[in-house]
Amino acid sequence: MKRLTTLAALLCTAFILINPLSAAAHMPPPFVDGQPVPTLAPMIKRVSPSIVNISTRGHVTVQQSPFFNDPFFQQFFGMPNMPTRQQFQALGSGVIVDANKGYILTNNHVIENADQITVTLYDNRTFKAKVIGRDADTDLAVLQIKADNLTALPLGDSDRLQVGDFVVAIGNPFGLNHTVTAGIVSALGRSQVEDGKYSNFIQTDASINPGNSGGALVDLQGNLVGINTAILSRGGGNIGIGFAIPVNMAKAVMSQLIKYGKVERGVLGVLIQNLTPELAKALAIPQQQGAIVSQVMPGSAAEKAGIRADDVIVNVDGKPISGAADLSSTIGVLRLGSRVNLGIIRNGKPLTIVATIGKPTSESAGSAEHPELRGLSVSNLDASSPLYGQLKGVQVTGVDPNSQAYMAGLRPGDVITAVNREPVSNVEEFRKALGSTKGAVALRVRRGDQAFFLVIE
């Protein structure tokens, strides 16, 4: 079950229980005043074979209390410092996106830690699935099954969605296969919804509930416009605020996962923030939307391309940029080495700069300096983090699931603010602090509104 920063982010889609007798009593007649009543039934019938049920079995490592890492505590209570492994079962949904090759798009958290993945089709056939690739930062994964007579769902264009457009959510909430609910697009470009680093969600009031992460959000033509991922909820049920990953983002990630098995990201190398009306007025910038560059990192792709501090990035390859989170998400799905045309406002005048996405300067920051932190990568805290501007530290961008850091509880999106009580505000300070540390490492971590220590040894 996914969690939001402060509220529950639940596995997704729609759920309706209908009493057949009462439903029949309230069904509208086929015609009213001689006109046919609108129905979604033909479209639902056409797209339903593309939606699958995904069930998983696996094991997770559960770390004991941090107190158990204290030698005195272990000696006093006789408690060994050993993580335990627990078995789990989970349900989710997926969307067939390539009928010939058997590719299925779903959420990464649906198949996370799974040892066995079973896909059940609309006609109740079941198949074992292979993981083609997964990306934790966007919470997307691609599976493959070997099956005949599959039906793929056409991919739409999420950039053309507007607030108020009608959409339909299809999936398997609570294990109830192929449940359908309808609603509208409530908002676009929602960020800071999940723990993933890159987010630019579609918000919808189509009923979404636990158990259907990876399900489809489709338009009235039956085109896939989003992958249902999370809901905002205080009590665990649907309250009309659901979120889906835009299909255009999913397409960009999916193509890399299919071709390379992973997303090899690069960075632009800028620190950015939202261009607010107040900031635009103070700096005499006519543009009202975009991401303003506050700093250009030395040696970065941005510096090589000629981007300067105070530049306002307003579009990427012609796609308008609404703010810092939008720019981070757009660049974040591009592959290392990609060339992009950046629309910039500089000194009130528009210009276009061509940049080549470069390597992250913080790649695998902890692996060489300290053996216990192999598999951990961090970056300077940027606008993609909900904690940006609130504190100093380094952002965890990746953790190998087999590493000591992962078993200790460190996760992507966490912010490390101190190493063995030594505050760190950037990657250089983080590396320096690790270089003077031998043996166990105590990290002070912020996750949302929570602050805690993790000991890695």
Active site residues: 109, 139, 213
Phi, psi for 95 (deg, rounded to 5): -130, 125
Length of the chain: 457
Comparing CA positions, the residue from 294, 292, 304 lying closest to residue 268 is 304
CA 121 to chain centre: 25
C-alpha 456/C-alpha 223 separation (Å) is 47
**Phi, psi angle pair for 34, to nearest 5°:** 80, 0
Which helix (H) or strand (E) covers residue 306, if one does? none
Distance CA 414, CA 335 (A): 24
Q: What torsion do the CA atoms of 275, 278, 282, 288 make, to the nearest 10 degrees? A: 40
Cβ–Cβ < 8 Å for 401, 412 = no
Secondary structure element (H or E) that encloses residue 362, with its range: none
Helices (H) and strands (E) in the chain, counts: 10, 28
Residue of 303, 425, 431 lying closest to 366 (CA atoms): 431
Give dist(CA 260, CA 251) in Å, integer: 14
Tell me the Ramachandran region of residue 393: left when phi exceeds 0, alpha when psi lies from -120 to 50, beta otherwise.
left
